[in-house]
Amino acid sequence: MPANLPPVYHAAEKRYRQANTPEEKIEALREMYAVMPKHKGTDKLQADIKRRIAQLKEQAKKAPVARQVPQWVIEKVGAGQVPVIGPPNAGKSALIARVTHADVRVAEYPFTTQTPVPAMMPFENIQIQLIDTPAWSQEFDVGWIPELARRSDACVLLADLSDTGSPEGIAYIVDSMEARDVVLIGRVPDEREGFEVCIPTLLVGNKSESSGAGAVLKALQDRFADRFPISAVSIETGTGLEEFKRALFNVMQITRVFTKQPGKEADLGEPFVLSSGSTVRDLAGKIHKEILANLRYARLWGVSGRFQGQRVGEDHVLADGDIVELHTR
């Protein structure tokens, strides 16, 4: 039986993912429980939320009064936050250094990165925040990476196409995440039975120039093609890096929208970035709460309208590249 969770539930769930303290998480969980429909399709979800609230209450009792911000809490900037996760020597730091031009420490030996390191990747007219992470393997389990991923907008799984053990290394990370209720998946399902957080994820195979890369890539595709979109790149030669940026943008499921004032040209500089499926009302709320409160209608130029300059209501769903002129009372 489908859960049919309302938008207000998903908004509270996002606040839960981004909360830093037990108290903030409990508040979000309580709201999620309050607004969810109560029927057989949500029985497991209700039980999971009650269990988590109880666990967090115990955690809050044991926690010291003065708390430090965990190292995995990185301030979000740009169009979205995306950790790059993978086993040793997959090339995470090298990938981030290549596509962001940031001064990221790169070395030939494993475990060079010890803490999360953010850097900004330009893509067309937006910036995407990539985060370098320590290598994660069965021999070196990094327990805080699932918490970092839980708060993020998407993830990149990076595999080494020169290593025949890469499919097993990626499977270990995917399974370890899922054991902590963080599900890495190419497209987030509309309905979920459990309490797990689903993070849209792109699987990338690096070192496509290496001998045997084709066989390893095929093994990854055989095992994960039904779960993730898969890209192949060579950080050494630069092959596939532009395609990687586009593939990541597609996985993130975001919409870029421009605005204009009546009688003036559109501002085509930095767009507003919204989740796919967002409406005129969502755009108004992102700009300013007073605009949202006084919104009457909008005029639209772009592919989501039937004609240019069309008058649309607040529930109109926007498309990437739309130009919107908001009219208020």
Q: Is the pLDDT of residue 45 over 80?
A: yes
Task: Spell out the residues 6+ positions from residue 162 whose beta carbon is closer than 8 angstroms to its own.
Answer: 207, 210, 211, 212, 213, 216
In angstroms, the Cα distances linking 235 to 77, 91, 230, 240 are 25, 8, 16, 8
Q: What's the pLDDT score for residue 87?
A: 94
Average pLDDT over residues 192-202: 81
Angle at 296 between CA 295 and CA 302, to 5 degrees: 90
Q: Is the pLDDT of residue 138 over 80?
A: yes
Q: What's the pLDDT score for residue 111?
A: 52
Q: What's the pLDDT score for residue 152?
A: 92
Q: What is the pTM of this model?
A: 0.78
CA distance 288 to 280: 13
Mean per-residue pLDDT of the chain: 87
CA distance 126 to 80: 10
Q: Do 150 and 199 contact (CB within 8 A), yes or no?
A: yes
Q: pLDDT tens digit string along 73-102? A: 788 889 999 999 999 999 999 999 999 987
Domains of the chain with CATH codes: 7-62 (no CATH), 81-252 (3.40.50.300), 255-328 (3.10.20.30)
Q: Among 29-38, 143-152, 185-194, 258-267, name the one with the lowest average pLDDT.
A: 185-194
Q: pLDDT tens digit string along 29-43? A: 888 888 888 877 778
Q: Do 308 and 301 contact (CB within 8 A), yes or no?
A: yes
The CB density around residue 233, as the number of other CB atoms within 10 Å, is 26
Task: Spell out the residues 6+ positions from residue 273 whose beta carbon is closer than 8 angstroms to its own.
Answer: 79, 80, 126, 254, 255, 256, 257
For the purposes of burial, counting CB atoms within 10 Å of the CB of 189, is it exposed (0-12), middle (13-18) or buried (19 or more)?
exposed
Q: What percent of the chain has pLDDT over 90?
A: 57
CA distance 43 to 67: 34
Q: Is the pLDDT of residue 191 over 90?
A: no
Q: Is the pLDDT of residue 69 over 80?
A: no
CA distance 134 to 90: 11
Q: Which is nearest to 184 in space by CA: 216, 215, 148, 160?
A: 148
Kindly report the three-state secondary structure assignment for every residue of the chain: CCCCCCHHHHHHHHHHHHCCCHHHHHHHHHHHHHHCCCCHHHHHHHHHHHHHHHHHHHHHHHCCCCCCCCCCCCCCCCCCEEEEECCCCCCHHHHHHHHHCCCCCCCCCCCCCCCCEEEEEEECCEEEEEEECCCCCCCCCCCCHHHHHHCCCCEEEEEECCCCCHHHHHHHHHHHHHHCCEEEECCCCCCCCCCCEEEEEEEEEECCCCCCHHHHHHHHHHHHCCCCCEEECCCCCCCCHHHHHHHHHHHHCEEEEEECCCCCCCEEEEEEEEECCCEHHHHHHHHCHHHHHCEEEEEEECCCCCCCCEEECCCCECCCCCEEEEEEC
CA dihedral 29, 30, 36, 37 (to 10 degrees): 140
Q: pLDDT tens digit string along 105-118? A: 655 555 555 688 89
Q: What percent of the chain has pLDDT over 70?
A: 89
CA contacts within 13 A on the Cβ side of 318: 32
Q: Is the pLDDT of residue 198 over 70?
A: yes
Q: What's the pLDDT score for residue 3?
A: 64
